[in-house]
Amino acid sequence: MSSIATRTGDEGTTGLLYGQRVPKDHPQIEAVGAYDELNAAIGFAKATCPDAGLRAGLEHIQKDLVNLMGELACAESDATRYAASKFPRLTDADLDRIDAAIAAVEAQNVKFDGWATPGANLHAAALDLARTTARRAERRLIGLPAQGRTVRPLLIRYINRVSDLLWLLARKAEM
């Protein structure tokens, strides 16, 4: 078995999906890292969740994030190659699933009054941590076009909705 320690990053660079090397603080790496952090934060929220259905929904979002990270992890010059590859990409159906989850939570008349103060319980706090991580990831995504990396508008809509869903779920968990 080969080691996880490849030592190829010892000089401060890392590889994009098709082998191009960039500095570890490259905007695309920052964006992928933010989504990796979000995946971990959602994993924490999932681990604190008493509801099996919600855990499954959070896990589905985690799988979506892996697909999103793959798309972000290739250079602009390889975007067409990635689009033609077998790698899964987020679709309108994924966004529709998040919109349906938002509508389902809103239909439960979740109450909130003004600014939320996270920490009512462990699960709500975990969801708020995931929400704030999602907003940071969203900011990293929004910044990529200024750095020369095209971003599909669907990705922006998706992460915005995921952030909204996490906020609603945190308020619901406080009830």
Look up the CATH superfamily of 21-174.
Answer: Cobalamin adenosyltransferase-like (1.20.1200.10)
Query: 55-81, pLDDT tens digit by residue?
Result: 999 999 999 999 999 999 999 999 999
Residue 7 reports pLDDT greater than 90: no
pTM for this prediction: 0.94
Spatial distance between the Cα atoms of 77 and 25, rounded to a whole number of angstroms: 19
The tens digit of pLDDT for each residue in 8-29 reads: 888 899 999 999 999 999 999 9
What's residue 106's pLDDT? 96
CA proximity to 66, closest of 100, 43, 97: 43
3-state SS assignment for residue 29: helix
Neighbouring CB atoms inside 10 A of 76's CB total 13
26 backbone φψ class: left, alpha, beta (φ>0; ψ -120 to 50): beta
d(CA 158, CA 153): 9
The CA–CA distances, whole Å, from 71 to 4, 12, 18, 44, 113 equal 23, 22, 11, 24, 38
Residue ranges per domain, the chain? Answer: 21-174
Asked whether 167 and 116 are in contact (CB, 8 A), the reply is: yes
What span, in angstroms and rounded, lies between the C-alpha atoms of 109 and 90?
Answer: 29
Q: Which residues pair with 14 in a beta bridge?
A: 22
Q: Could you tell me which residues are beta bridge partners of residue 23? A: 13
- Tokens (6 digits) for 126: 């975990």
Q: What is the mean pLDDT of residues 145-159?
A: 97
